[in-house]
Amino acid sequence: MSTFKVSRIETRPFDGQKPGTSGLRKKVKVFAQTHYLQNFVQATFNALTCDKIKGNTLVVSGDGRYYSKDAIQIIIKMSAANGVRRVWVGQNGLLSTPAVSAVIRERVGTDGSKASGAFILTASHNPGGPTEDFGIKYNMENGGPAPEGVTDKIYENTTTIKEYLIAENLPDVDISKIGSTNFSGPEGEFEVEVFDSTDTYVNLMKSIFDFEAIKKLLACPKFTFCYDSLHGVAGVYAKRIFIEELGANESSLLNCTPKEDFGGGHPDPNLTYAKELVQRMGLGKNSEVEPPEFGGAADGDADRNMILGKRFFVTPSDSVAIIAANAVEAIPYFSDGLKGVARSMPTSAALDVVAEALNLKFFEVPTGWKFFGNLMDAGLCSVCGEESFGTGSDHVREKDGIWAVLAWLSILAQKNKEKLNGEKLVTVEDIVRQHWSTYGRHYYTRYDYENVDAGGAKELMAHLVNLQSDLPQVNKIVKEANSAVSNVIKGDEFEYKDSVDGSVSKHQGIRYFFEDGSRLVFRLSGTGSEGATIRVYIEQYEKDSSKTGRDSQEALKPLVEAALRLSKMQEFTGRSEPTVIT
Ligand code: VG1
Ligand code: CO
């Protein structure tokens, strides 16, 4: 057993190590600076109480993006030096974000050990590669992202850090081979265990869903299926679950080999970036072949999902509402009923309508999955979602891309149980249209202005806050933009008080509410690595079932015009068009 020494390395604070919506995300060249990653990791150790670190087990893995391999070796050496007892690494350093959450909650080591936390190495949907983004975040004992109290403490520590601890002479561990390596240090033994990236997660999925029912659906020749991992870590799970466990055809998988640079693409599952899948599903230009019945996609770290039917897009806000409405019947895990449901503030109110109809507890939280954790830990919420292609449940404490696809496949399997030998299957589109006719439709779109000048973005937000004190002026502006929009009746800035721990999060987005139930929301993104990204969320409710079939961009045009005029978008940012529309 090789022996290691602990070195104390002198360092100085770096600016800007403030974790955003989901961890710290920067260009690789920023992370690769001497001491940069080390400072953040030590600041995290110092923010946690000793009993969470000393003698404990930590998980370290991620989506496999460029710089992950170096980062894993550094974190292993720093863990050893900080008195961690064991580090668990997914084979090749790969674990999806929801799988990390599952491993923290479910995995038991050979000696009965459980993990007390994890460093997740990912910048999620941001591109990867030497000139692109890297990211890191810390998840807690419950499997969820560190809450704001902890991330604030981490940031504070990064501003005063003077030294970090590292076991410099600990040899690099081969993370490509499953097995354990043991070392001995000043505080006793230290072990690194490399384990299968999929086992724990797959077993969890099998305990939630009826795999036999999904298998029957996938075996039906009329039901065709396609899944795009965008070269992210989802590929590892997709192969194991969809092919090996559920019997789908290999040709159903697109881009399922994880790559350090995601094949040069933007691993974000939406209509703009998941081009190949969009084309296959018949939503692109000139699609000749008959598209599959169902399409799904994931982002780099596999916590996001996009759900498509044949020539049909399901908005994420509708998706979570539809899952909630069907969960009890279609998914064994929920057969005793839902404890409650929750959505992030900018997500459409489609879920609210379901909650009301089914008499379920309902919560609205700020953007970012960390806000759902407390509700789930307190047994108040079973299903939750965000408009940003994030859907999940209390089976873990992260949103879960593969789970969402399995949830949809379960709903399809249940609705088609008696139809597999018949003429026509119930399609994704049928399910969505049926949902709209029962609950009404929330027309929804989001405009993103990526990488705009940070100063201009701040001014735009300040302008929108100022404007709220003068509603007559607001209404004059929106009517000038388009006389078809209804009156603005209220404007505010969203502030959230956690009903479990009482913590308050301020400045979570600027909202304008209209008389007819429409809503505009403006937020600055907290996941970018350069400049600022402005997000504009636009929503309109249509109860009349004869009017729920319109094209959504068409239906929302007047509101979009009002949003652009109110925010003086072009004036503040110089942009006449958004970067992405979802
Ligand atoms: C975005 C989304 C948010 C999501 C977050 C992390 O944050 O809007 O809903 O939780 O990304 O997702 P922001 O601050 O850029 O709007 V992921 O898959 O990037 O971890
Ligand atoms: Co992600």
Q: Residue 392 CA to chain centroid, in angstroms?
A: 9
Closest C-alpha residue for ligand 1 atom 1: 527
User: Which numbered atom of ligand 1 lies nearest the CA of 301?
Assistant: 18
What tokens does 322 get?
């539809």
Out of 83-97, 279-293, 526-540, give the one with best mean pLDDT.
Answer: 83-97
Nearest CA owner, ligand 1 atom 10 = 368
Nearest residue (by CA) to ligand 1, atom 5, is 368
pLDDT score at 489 = 93
Q: What is the DSSP letter of 13?
A: P
Over range 482-496, report the average pLDDT. 90
User: How many whole angstroms from 336 Cα to the centroid of ligand 1?
Assistant: 31
Whether the pLDDT of residue 211 is over 90: the answer is yes
Q: Which amino acid is at 483?
A: S
Q: Tell me the pLDDT band of 155, cut-offs 50, 70 and 90.
A: very high
User: Which ligand 1 atom sits nearest the alpha carbon of residue 125?
Assistant: 19
Residue of 125, 386, 527 to mutate, ligand 1, most atoms within 8 A of C-beta: 527
Q: Does residue 516 carry a pLDDT above 80?
A: yes
Q: What letter does residue 131 receive in the DSSP assignment?
A: T
Find the ligand nearest to 133 CA.
1
Contacts of 388 (CB under 8 A, 6+ apart): 304, 316, 344, 367, 446
Mutate to test the pocket of ligand 1, among 120, 371, 388 (most ligand atoms within 8 A of CB): 388
DSSP secondary structure, 497-556, as one string: E-TTT--EE----EEEEETTS-EEEEEE-SS-SSSEEEEEEEEEEE--GGGTTS-HHHHH
Ligand 2 centre distance from Cα of residue 389 (Å): 9
Burial class (CB in 10 A: 0-12, 13-18, 19+), 3: exposed
Report the candidate in 166, 179, 139, 155 with the shortest Cα–Cα distance to residue 59.
Answer: 139
DSSP conformational letter for 124 = T
Closest CA to 254 of 281, 273, 235, 282: 235
pLDDT above 80: residue 116: yes
Q: How far is the CA of 444 from the centre of ligand 2 (A)?
A: 21
pLDDT over 70 at 412, yes or no: yes
Q: Name the band, by pLDDT with cuts 50, 70 and 90, for residue 266.
A: very high
Choosing from 21, 139, 304, 449 the residue with most ligand 1 atoms within 8 A of its CB, the one to mutate for a pocket test is 21
Q: To 5 degrees, how large is the angle CA 369–CA 410–CA 358?
A: 65
Most confident of 109-123, 473-487, 495-509: 109-123
pLDDT, position 349: 96
- Looking at ligand 1, which residue's alpha carbon is closest to its atom 11? 527
Which ligand neighbours the alpha carbon of 233 most closely?
A: 2
- What span, in angstroms and rounded, lies between the C-alpha atoms of 12 and 97? 31
Distance (angstroms) between ligand 2 centre and the Cα of 510 equals 24
Residue minimizing CA distance to atom 3 of ligand 1: 368
Ligand whose nearest atom lies closest to the CA of 145 = 1
> What percent of the chain is modeled with pLDDT above 70?
99
Provide the pLDDT for residue 287: 65
Q: To test the ligand 1 pocket, which listed residue (134, 367, 524) has its Cβ within 8 A of the most ligand atoms?
A: 367
Report whether pLDDT(26) > 70. Answer: yes
What is the edge-to-edge ordering of all strands in the sheet holding 225-228? 253-254, 225-228, 294-298, 305-309, 312-314
- Give the residues surrounding ligand 1 with Cβ less than 6 Å away: 21-22, 124-125, 299, 303-304, 344, 367-369, 386, 388, 390, 525-527, 535
Q: What is the pLDDT of residue 500?
A: 84
Report the alpha-carbon distance of residue 4 to residue 573 in Å, rounded.
Answer: 53
Q: Which atom of ligand 1 has the smallest separation from the CA of 523?
A: 16
Q: By three-state DSSP, how is residue 472 classified?
A: helix
Name which of 124, 121, 158 is nearest 40 in CA terms.
158
Q: Is the pLDDT of residue 549 over 90?
A: no
Predicted confidence (pLDDT) at residue 288 exceeds the cutoff of 70: no
Calculate how far, in angstroms, residue 238's C-alpha sits from the geometric centre of ligand 2: 16
Please give the distance, rounded to the nearest whole angstrom, from the Cα atom of residue 349 to the centre of ligand 1: 19
Read off the pLDDT of residues 428-475 as tens digits, 9 standing for 90 and up. 999 999 999 999 999 999 999 998 999 999 999 999 999 998 999 989
Predicted pLDDT of residue 422: 78
* Distance from the alpha carbon of residue 447 to the mean position of ligand 1, in angstroms: 14
Q: Which ligand is nearest to the CA of 533?
A: 1
Q: Find the mean pLDDT for residues 412-433.
A: 92
CA of 390 to the centre of ligand 1 (A): 8
Q: Return the minimum-mean-pLDDT range out of 252-261, 294-303, 483-492.
A: 483-492
Q: Whose CA is nearest to atom 8 of ligand 1?
A: 388
Whether 9 has a pLDDT exceeding 90, the answer reads yes
Name residues whose C-beta falls within 8 Å of residue 261's C-beta, 6 or more positions apart in sequence: 65, 66, 127, 128, 129, 130, 132, 231
- Residue 400 Cα to ligand 2 midpoint, Å, equals 9
pLDDT of residue 278: 94
* 267 neighbors 230 (Cβ within 8 angstroms): yes
Which numbered ligand comes closest to the C-alpha of 96? 2
* SS3 sequence of 296-330: EEECCCCCEEEEEECCEEECHHHHHHHHHHHHHHH
**Nearest Cα residue to atom 20 of ligand 1:** 124
Helix crossing, 428-439 with 316-330: angle to 10°? 90
pLDDT of 17 > 80? The answer is yes
Per-residue pLDDT, 245: 97
Residue identifier of the C-alpha nearest atom 6 of ligand 1: 22
Share of the chain above pLDDT 90, in %: 84
Q: What is the mean pLDDT of residues 543-570?
A: 90
- 183 C-alpha vs ligand 1 centroid, how far in Å? 38
Which residue, judged by its Cα, is nearest atom 13 of ligand 1?
525
- pLDDT of 52: 77
Return the C-alpha torsion angle 306, 309, 315, 318, nearest 10. -110
Ligand whose nearest atom lies closest to the CA of 527: 1
Among protein residues, the one whose CA lies closest to atom 18 of ligand 1: 124
pLDDT value at position 50? Answer: 65
Q: Which two tokens stand for residue 309?
A: 């039917």
pLDDT at 527 over 90: no
Which domains are assigned to the chain?
2-197 (3.40.120.10), 201-439 (3.40.120.10), 441-581 (3.30.310.50)
Q: Quick one: which atom of ligand 1 is closest to the CA of 124?
A: 19
* H helix or E strand, kind and range, residue 169: none
| Ligand 1 atom at minimum distance from 386 CA | 9
Q: For the residues 370-394, what does the mean pLDDT come to?
A: 95
* pLDDT for residue 110: 86
Active site residues: 124
Residue 551 confidence (pLDDT): 87
What does the pLDDT average to over 49-66?
89
pLDDT confidence band for 139 (50 / 70 / 90)? very high
Nearest ligand 1 atom to the CA of 526 is 14
Shortest CA distance to 121 belongs to which of 72, 57, 52, 74? Answer: 72
